[in-house]
Amino acid sequence: MDATTLARWQFASTTVYHFLIVPLSIGLTALVAVMQTLAYLKRATPAGEVWDRSSRFWGRIMLVIFALGVVTGIVQEFQFGMNWSAYSRFVGDIFGAPLAMEGLIAFFLESTFLGLWIFGRDILTPRLHLASIWLAALGTTISAYFILAANSFMQHPVGLVYDAAKHRVELTSIWKVLFNSTQLVTFPHTILAAFMTGSAILLSVSAWHLRRDGELVDLVHRKVAGLAVGVLLVSVVGVSIVGHIQGQIMTDQQPMKMAAAEALWNTDDHAPFSLFAYADVSQGHNKIDITVPDGLSILAKNRPGATVQGINQVQAAEAAKYGPGSYIPVVWLAYWCFRLMIGFGVLAGLVAFGVFVQWRRGKLTTSPRMLRLATWTVALPLAANSAGWLFTETARQPWLVYGLLKTSSGVSTNVSSGVVLASLIGFSALYGVLGVICFRMVRRIAIEGPATTLPPPPGSDVIDEPVLSLV
Amino acid sequence: MLQGFWFGTIAVLWAGFLMLEGFDFGVGMLLPFVTRTDTDRRIALRSIGPVWDGNEVWLLVAGGATFAAFPEWYASVFSGFYIAFALLLVGLILRGIGIEYRGKAETANGRHWCDRAIVVGSFLPALLLGVAFADFLRGVKMDAGHNMAGGFFDLVTPFGLLGGVVTLTLFLFHGAVFLALRTEGAVAFRAKVAAKRVAPVTAVAAVAFVLWTAGTRGGWLSFLLGAVLVVAFVASLAALWLDRIGLAFSASALVCLLVPVWVFSALWPDVLPARNSAALSLTVHNASSSHYTLVVMTVVALLFTPIVIAYQAWTYWVFRARVGAASVGHGGYEETVVGRLRHAASVGTDGESPAEPR
C-alpha cells in the first residue's frame, strides 16, 4: 500500500477510535454534572443522598473513559502535521486557528477543572465543587464546537481567499469559519448524539442492575434509568430533526454526498428513498433497489416533486468544473453508513421508548427481556456515531477540503510508507490494549455498583480516601 | 511585528510546558528511586495528580499555536520529526493512562504495570524534547518545499543526544525538588537525595550544551540567556544544599522557563534553520500565517491567556497543602469502595488494611 492509503487508514482508525470515546465523555460529564446538581439542590434529603451516590458512581466511570479520550486526543492534534503536512501547509492559515482556540479555551478549562473536581471534593465548598464539574463539561462542549468548526471548513470551505503564489488558502473572516452554515447544524447534531451516547450508557448499566436485583435494586439505578430514558428520548428526537436539516444543507453544498448516500445514480424529480440497493459501480446503476416513492425528494427538499441530482450528473458537472477525474466516493460505504447511522439511532430511541412504556405500566422491574435488551443500548449510539462519522468523511472523497484540495495532495511527501505502516501497527496495537483495559475497568466498576453509603464529610475524624480519587 | 509576537508567544507556551510538565515528568521518572511502598508511590503521584493534565495542555496549545501562526513550521517539524513525535505520543499515552488508571487497578500486578507505564512514559518525552530542541538549533536538511530530508537517525547526533541528556536530567532534578517541596516524610527525604545526586550531571551537561550551541548559533543575547540559565541552576543547587527548598524550586522553575526562551533566542529569526542552505531556512516571515489570522489569534490569546493563568494558579493554591500519608489514605481502590462494602458485610474486622495492599 502507498503512503496515502496507509495515512488514510491511520487517520480513520485513530479518529473513529477517538470518536467512540469523545461522545461518551461529553455526554457523561454533563450528565454527572446534572446528577450532582440534583444532589446539591436536594441536599440533606433521601433523594439528594441517592443523587450524590449516583454522581460519585457515574463520575468514576466517566473518569475511566475520559482518560482514554484525553490521551487519544493528543494524537489527533499532532497527526495533521505528521501524516498530512501538505494539507497543513495548504489550510494552516485557517484550520490552525480553531485548533489553537480549542486548546487555549477548551482543553485548559476541562483539564484544570476536572482535576479540581476529582481532588477538590473535600477541599472546595460544595458550590465550587459543583461549579468545577460544570466548567469541565463546558470545556468538553466548547472543544467540540471548535473542532467541528474546523471539520465544517473541510466540508464547506468559507471565509477564504486562495493565494496562488504560496499555494495556500488564507483566512478572510473568522466569523464565517466559526459560524459556517454547515457548522451550525453539525454542532447540535454531534452534541445531541453525545447526549444520546451518554444517556445510553446510563441506561445500559441501570438496566443490568434492574434486571439482576428487581424490586430490591439500589435506588440509584432507578433514578439514573429515569434520567437516562428522558435524555435519550429528547436527544433522539433532536438529533433526527437537526439531522434532517443537515441533510438538506448537505444536498445543497455537497450534492455528490447526498447522491452517494442514496445510491441515486441519475437525477430524478420524484427521487425515491432507497431501502436496499446493490450497485454496479462500473455501469453506474443499481442492480437491486427497493425504494419508497418520492422519499428522497421529500427528505432532501421537503417536496415530493423536487429534483435530486444523481451521481452520474454530479460527476459530469464536477469533471467540467475541476478537470477530468473521478469525483465519486465509495458508494456502498456511503450508502450503508448513512443507513446504519439512522438505523442504530432509531433503534436506540425505540429501546428507550420501550423502557419508558414498561415503566409507565409499572412493570419495569418485571420485564427481564426488555431490561436485557436495554443493557445493550449503549452499543447502538456508538455504532451510529461511527457510521455517521465514516459517512461524512468518506463521502466527501476524493476531496480533503471540498472543491479545494484532494486527499491525495494532502499527505506528507517526506514520510515513507514503511514509517507510516510501522506507526499504524504500533498505535493500533496500543489502542487495542488500552481499549480492552478501559472496557474491563468500566465493566467492573459498573457491575460493582455505587457505594451503599456516603463517605464521612470532610472535617470528621475518620480519614478516608475520596471515592473519586485517581491515585 | 506580529510574527515576532507569535514567535515569543510560542516560546512562552513551551516555557510554561517545561516548567510545569517538567516536574511531572521528573516525578514519573523518579518513581522507582524515591518510593519503596505503595503508599509512597501514591504520595508521589498525588502531588501531581490534580494538575498534570492541565500542565500537559501547554504542549497541546504550543502545537496548536504553531499550527495557527506558523503552519509551515508546524508541517515541516511534525512530518520531519515523525518517529520522534510518534514515540513522544506513545510516551504521553502510556503516562496518562498509567496515572489515571493506577488508583483504579484491582490488583498489585495492575498497579505495577501502571507504574512501568508512568516511568517509561515520562522518560521518553523528557529525552525526546531535548533531542528535538537540539536539532532545531543544529538545523535540518530541507528541500525548497520545506520538506525535511533524512530519517530518524539523522536527528540522533551527539549534539542532539546531549540536548536530550540536558532535558532528561533537568526534569529529574526539577521533579526531585518538586517532590521535596510538595511531599512529606520518606518520599521528600529521598527526593532531596536524588536531586543532589543528579545535579552534577545536569550542571555539566547544561554548561557543555550552552557552550557548544554558542559556538554554532545565536548572538550575545542568547549567550547571555544561556549564562543566566546556568547561574540559575547553580543558585537552585546552592539553595538545595542550604535546605531552602522553596527557593531551590523557584530557581529550577526559572531554569526550565529559560530553556525554551534561550533556544528561541538562538534561533531568531529562523524557526527551523536549514543546514544545507541558509536560503531554504524557515523564518518567522516565510513560515507565518497571513496578517489577518495573526491579528485574530492575537486577540484570542490576549483575552484568554490571562484567564487560563489565573485559574491554573488558583488550582495550585487550592492544592497547596503538602501531600503525606494522611492525604492518600491507607489503601488503594480496593480499600475504599470494595473494602467498605466488605467491612459492612463482615463483623469483627476493624477494616485496617496492610501497608502494602494486595
pLDDT digits (tens, 9 = 90+) for B261-270: 999 999 888 8
**From the CA atom positions of chain B, what is the Rg in Å?**
22
Under 8 Å CB-to-CB from B358, ≥6 apart: which residues?
A: B107, B108, B334
Give alpha helix (H) positions in A161-218: 174-178, 181-213
Partners of A77 on chain B (C-beta within 8 Å) are 60, 63-64
Do the domain assignments include residue B351? no
Do the domain assignments include residue B341? no
**Residue A45: enclosing H or E segment and its boundaries?**
none
Domain containing B178 equals 2-330
Do the domain assignments include residue B103? yes
Phi, psi of B149 (to 5 degrees): -100, 165
CA distance from start to end of chain A: 44
Residue to mutate among B24, B51, B89, B285, with most A CBs inside 10 A, is B89
Task: Summarize the confidence of residues B217-234 as an average pLDDT.
Answer: 88
Residue to mutate among B45, B104, B147, with most A CBs inside 10 A, is B104
Q: How many angstroms separate the CA atoms of A256 and A325, rounded?
A: 14
Closest to A79 in 3D by CA, of B88, B106, B230: B88
Q: Residues of chain B with pLDDT > 70: what percent?
A: 92
CB pair distance less than 8 Å for B293 and A86: no
- Residue B339 or A180, more confident: A180
What's the mean pLDDT when you consider all of chain A? 89
Task: Summarize the confidence of residues B279-300 as an average pLDDT.
Answer: 91
Q: How far is B158 from chain A (nearest CA, A)?
A: 24
Max Cα-Cα span within chain B: 80
Do the domain assignments include residue B345? no
Number of domains comprising chain B: 1
Q: Which residue of A has its CA nearest to B303?
A: A105
Task: Summarize the confidence of residues A307-333 as an average pLDDT.
Answer: 89
Q: Which residue of B has its CA nearest to A470?
A: B103
CB pair distance less than 8 Å for A434 and B93: yes
Q: How far is B190 from chain A (nearest CA, A)?
A: 20
Do the domain assignments include residue B157? yes
Phi, psi of A457 (to 5 degrees): -65, 155
Per-residue pLDDT at A388 exceeds 60? yes
Long-range contacts of A332-335 (CB under 8 A, 24+ apart): A332/A263, A332/A279, A333/A390, A333/A391, A333/A394, A333/A395, A334/A257, A334/A260, A334/A261, A334/A391, A334/A394, A334/A395, A335/A260, A335/A261, A335/A262, A335/A263, A335/A274, A335/A277, A335/A279
Identity of the residue numbered B2: L
pLDDT of the residue at A460 = 52
Under 8 Å CB-to-CB from B158, ≥6 apart: which residues?
A: none
Please give the distance of CA A319 from its chain centroid, rounded to a whole number.
33
Q: Which residue of A has its CA nearest to B320?
A: A123
pLDDT tens digits for range A69-106: 999 988 988 999 999 999 999 999 999 999 999 999 99
Give the relative orientation of helices B82-102 and A417-448 as an angle to the nearest 10 degrees: 10
Task: Summarize the confidence of residues B228-253 as an average pLDDT.
Answer: 93
In the numeric block, which cell numbers belong to residue B314? 488558583
* Alpha-carbon dihedral angle through residues A421, A422, A427, A433, given to the nearest 10 degrees: 110
Closest to A27 in 3D by CA, of A228, A178, A219: A228
pLDDT tens digits for range A98-122: 999 999 999 999 999 999 999 988 8
Q: How far is A121 from chain B (nearest CA, A)?
A: 11
Q: Are A249 and A228 in contact (CB under 8 A)?
A: no
Partners of A67 on chain B (C-beta within 8 Å) are 96-97, 100-101
Write the CA distances from A458 to A50, A463, B106, B327, integer angstroms.
19, 9, 26, 12
Do the domain assignments include residue B350? no
**From the CA atom positions of chain A, what is the Rg in Å?**
24
Closest to A349 in 3D by CA, of A223, A200, A166, A248: A200
Which stretch of B228-237, B238-247, B349-358 has the lowest confidence by average pLDDT? B349-358
CB pair distance less than 8 Å for B328 and A86: no
Q: How far is A173 from chain B (nearest CA, A)?
A: 8
Do the domain assignments include residue B306? yes
CB pair distance less than 8 Å for A100 and B67: yes
Per-residue pLDDT at A33 exceeds 50? yes
Do the domain assignments include residue B352? no
Phi, psi of B351 (to 5 degrees): 75, 5
- What is the band of B329 on the pLDDT scale with cuts at 50, 70, 90? low
Beta bridge partners of A268: A308
The three-point CA angle A241-A242-A246 to 5° equals 120
Q: How far is B132 from chain A (nearest CA, A)?
A: 15
Residue to mutate among B35, B38, B87, B101, with most A CBs inside 10 A, is B101
Task: Name the residue facing A100 among B49, B50, B68 (closest C-beta).
Answer: B68
Closest to B179 in 3D by CA, of B162, B198, B165, B200: B198
3-state secondary structure of A396: coil
Task: Summarize the confidence of residues B39-64 as an average pLDDT.
Answer: 91
| Predicted structure pTM score | 0.89
Q: Which residue of B has its CA nearest to A53?
A: B337
Q: How many angstroms separate the CA atoms of B255 and A84, rounded?
A: 35
CB pair distance less than 8 Å for B53 and A104: no
Task: Name the residue facing B292 among A91, A171, A414 (closest C-beta).
Answer: A171
- What is the band of B350 on the pLDDT scale with cuts at 50, 70, 90? very low
Q: Are A407 and A8 in contact (CB under 8 A)?
A: yes
Q: How many angstroms separate the CA atoms of B127 and B153, rounded?
A: 15
Task: Name the residue facing B104 among A116, A441, A463 (closest C-beta).
Answer: A441
Determine the number of helices (DSSP H) and then strands (DSSP E) in chain A: 15, 6
